[in-house]
Amino acid sequence: MSAFVYKALRYSGVAWIWRETVQRGRVTFLLFHDMELCDAERNFSYLKKHYHIISLKQYVDAVRNQSVLPKKAVVVTFDDGHVSNYKLLPIIKKLNVPVTVFLCSSIVGTRRHFWFRHSEVVKHKVESLKQLSTEERLRVLQTMGFIQAKEYDDRQALSSKEIEEMKTVVDFQSHTCFHPILPQCDDTTAREEIVSSKLQLESLFGLDIYALSYPNGDYSDRDIKLAKEAGYQCGITVDSGYNNRSSDLFRLKRFSVNDAKSITELMVKASGIYALIKHKLHKPSYGYKPSRA
């Protein structure tokens, strides 16, 4: 069904017209996760050809200084710090693509697992777990054999050595410590996740951490406040839409490309039109949540 929609939006010319008109004067943030090397070369080449890829820092500085940004500006981001991201390093260097990778600071450099990718957990309904309080989620996960601090045989996240090698060309930023659903955390845990991840990444890798990507795109006013207090300069959501120089830096919008497997899928998703239509029809379950307090 999705493949049909991608083709319809591409070959009707709608995605092209959208890209060259609506999208032209705006800044589009794209979200990838676990893209394979062959897809990365094709996808990055397409983006370079049809957009002006800028770094996240360049965008944040332009908002803060009200300086000019190029037309059809795109910011390329990856969430989580998946082990496969290391394989993309040669292509990132070859094509000279500015990329920001958001790391879970207590998972990278270890053999701990991302809770939503642990083999026993993915057999169950991951989505329903996101609705639970963090305490309850961890309790249920334990019954599925997942323990947050446990190191497993296989590695899911980037190693310290890989981060050290990549950090000369990749902008690493924070995606909390353990990838909780922030609005489902109590105040102490939310603060710990937001503050400690920044401190850990700075002390472990000597990074300048100025950006937070809210795990699963879920955030509340409380989480924005904590991010500001912790010294972040911006917070990135997965809310559908574009950004510009007057955007709220702690509610930056982003389109999930989901590691597009074809040019048609990438063209349609990168234009933003696919998510805008989809979310108009069905409001996504993730996103902004009113604060508990």
Residues making contact with Zn ion (CB under 5 A):
79-80, 215
Least distance from Zn ion to the Cβ atom of residue 80, Å: 4
Nearer Cβ to Zn ion (156/243): 156
Question: Which one, of 263, 258, 256, lies nearest residue 28 by Cα?
Answer: 256
CA distances from 205 to 139, 168, 177, 213 (A): 32, 11, 14, 18
In the complex with Zn ion, the residue whose CB is nearer, 79 or 265, is: 79
What six digits make up the tokens of 67? Answer: 């300086």
Burial code (b: 16+ CB inside 10 Å, e: under 16) for 62-91 equals bbeeeeebeebbbbbbbbbbbbbbbebbeb
DSSP letter (8 states) at residue 157: B
CA distance 292 to 290: 7
Decide whether 214 or 274 has the Cβ nearer to Zn ion.
Answer: 214
Q: Is 32 helix (H, G, I), strand (E, B) or coil?
A: strand
Nearer to Zn ion, 59 or 102 (CB): 102
Query: Nearer Cβ to Zn ion, position 256 or 264?
Result: 256
| Distances 62 to 26, 227, 237 between C-alpha atoms, Å | 13, 20, 19
Q: Are 160 and 207 in contact (CB under 8 A)?
A: no
Tell me the residue nearest to Zn ion as measured from the CB. 79
Compute the least distance from the CB of residue 87 to Zn ion, in Å: 19
Give the C-alpha separation, 151 to 154, whole Å.
9
Is the Cβ of residue 23 or residue 216 nearer to Zn ion in the bound state?
216
Q: Smallest distance from the beta carbon of 21 to Zn ion, in angstroms? A: 32
CB of 174 to Zn ion, least distance (A): 11
**In the complex, least distance from residue 256 CB atom to Zn ion, rounded to whole angstroms:** 11
CB of 78 to Zn ion, least distance (A): 9
Dist. CA 190–CA 186, nearest whole Å: 6
